[in-house]
Amino acid sequence: CSFISGCCKDSEKLCQFSTINALMAGCYQGQFKCGDLTRMGDFGIGTFDKLDGEMVVLEGTVYQVKADGSVCPVSKNLLTPFAVVTTFSADRQIRLKGTYNLLELQKQIDRRLPGENIFYAIRIDADAAYIRTRSVPAQQKPYPKLTEVVKDQPVFETTDTRGTLVGFKCPDYILGLNIPGYHLHFISDKKIFGGHLLECRVRDPVIKIDYIRQLELTLPPGGDFDSIDLRMTDGDSL
């Protein structure tokens, strides 16, 4: 972004690598370097080569939450088949008092957003009385569809931790390219717990929202993507 941070509202860009339909159809081969992601943004989510875990990008560091629950920062050369990042700069901050589950949290955010038609990067820092996440194990070829993989996904729960929800809310018209609605991942402050968020109960959350009006889509440089039938995923959803 060529704008000086803070001088220009909504100046951020959503940088997306590959499409959710391609991922759901089994395009798990890593095609983009994590080092390339962090040149495009310091905040985001995704997965890794062979679908090896959940990605959380926070403050410029890419973390991998593996299927065994372990969390570690990754090297610049590790590859990803799908990721979405932005340079996070909050346009709106909301401090809530009380305890909220995931649906309540989303409702609280929804009623404060200007509308359903732009993209939002969402960062929520909070004490978590309860967090439930999932990750996914590395897959072997021939790659199964994502809907098959998540049927026996490892699920993790923890209580009384502190951490950050990292993710996006996308408009409905993005269907096929990305996931409409909320898609959040979690990482604990100590970087020992994380994953794709399934449920939570958070206390006194501090919510930061970045309004985004630009989308940059980069498709994989060849590989399975060029020939895969993306119409096959009709009706599937995560």
Residues interacting with Zn ion, by CB under 5 A?
Answer: 196
Q: Residue 62 Cβ, how far from Zn ion at the closest point, in Å?
A: 14
**Residue number with CB closer to Zn ion (96 or 174):** 174
Measured from the CB atom, is 123 or 196 closer to Zn ion?
196
C-beta of 198: minimal distance to Zn ion in Å? 10
Cβ distance to Zn ion smaller for residue 56 or 207: 56
CA distances from residue 187 to 158, 193, 217, 219 in whole angstroms, order as listed: 12, 6, 26, 27
Query: 11 or 26, CB closer to Zn ion?
Result: 26
**DSSP at 144:** P
Q: Please, what is the minimum distance in Å from the beta carbon of residue 15 to Zn ion?
A: 17
Q: Sort residue 23 into left (φ over 0), alpha (ψ -120 to 50) or beta.
A: alpha
- Structure letter (DSSP) for residue 175: B
Closest approach, Cβ 45 to Zn ion, in A, equals: 6
Closest CA to 13 of 31, 27, 1: 1
State the minimum distance, in angstroms, from the CB of residue 18 to Zn ion.
Answer: 14
Nearer to Zn ion, 151 or 231 (CB): 151
| Contact indicator for 187, 163 with CB cutoff of 8 Å | yes
Q: Tokens 């095609």 map to which residue?
A: 31
Query: Which residues is 134 bridged to in the sheet?
Result: 155, 196
